[in-house]
Amino acid sequence: MVCFGVRRWHAREVIEYPLQELAPGDPTPTRSVDLFAGGGQGRGSLRRLIRIYRERIPRSLLPIATAPGGDLICLGVGGSDIGKVFFWDHENEWDSEDFTDLNPAPRNVVFQNVVLVANSFGDFVMSMVAKDI
């Protein structure tokens, strides 16, 4: 993120970003970042996030960061979602057991708990604001 001119944030700061759409049932227009995924095998590793959430998030999304309360920030990696950044709300997950490979869930069901944050990762990074807590 250094290439975007973003500095390191401190323990007494929260990094907020705006949503382009409001999450269903939640009028809060901003969210915050807990931890960006990194390498390795630990709690904040990308590998761990993929393992935990691969059956829960849309297949066209890759979890890149955690948000408070068990939510995710995801990067679009497939189809019309490529390059876009999304907020995934764990509170309104769809039930994957209701669908099969022969009867796949429609996009509006799979994305019922996903809202657009930014049209690109660069736009996402540039929208971040550090606020004192």
Give per-residue pLDDT as tens, 3-35.
444 445 556 678 888 888 776 667 777 888 888
Strand order in the sheet with 61-67: 35-36, 61-67, 71-76, 85-88, 114-118
Contact 70, 4 (CB under 8 A): no
Which helix (H) or strand (E) segment holds residue 81: the answer is none
Q: Residue 119's pLDDT is what?
A: 96
> Comparing 98 with 34, which gets the higher pLDDT?
34
> Comparing 1 with 118, which gets the higher pLDDT?
118
Q: Domain range holding 125? A: 2-132
Q: How many domains does the chain have?
A: 1
What is the pTM assigned to this prediction?
0.81
Choose the weakest-confidence range: 25-34, 95-104, 105-114. Answer: 95-104
27: Cα within 13 Å, side-chain hemisphere: 0
Q: Report, as an integer, the average pLDDT of 43-61.
A: 90
When mean pLDDT is compared over 3-17, 66-80, 87-101, 105-119, the highest value belongs to 66-80
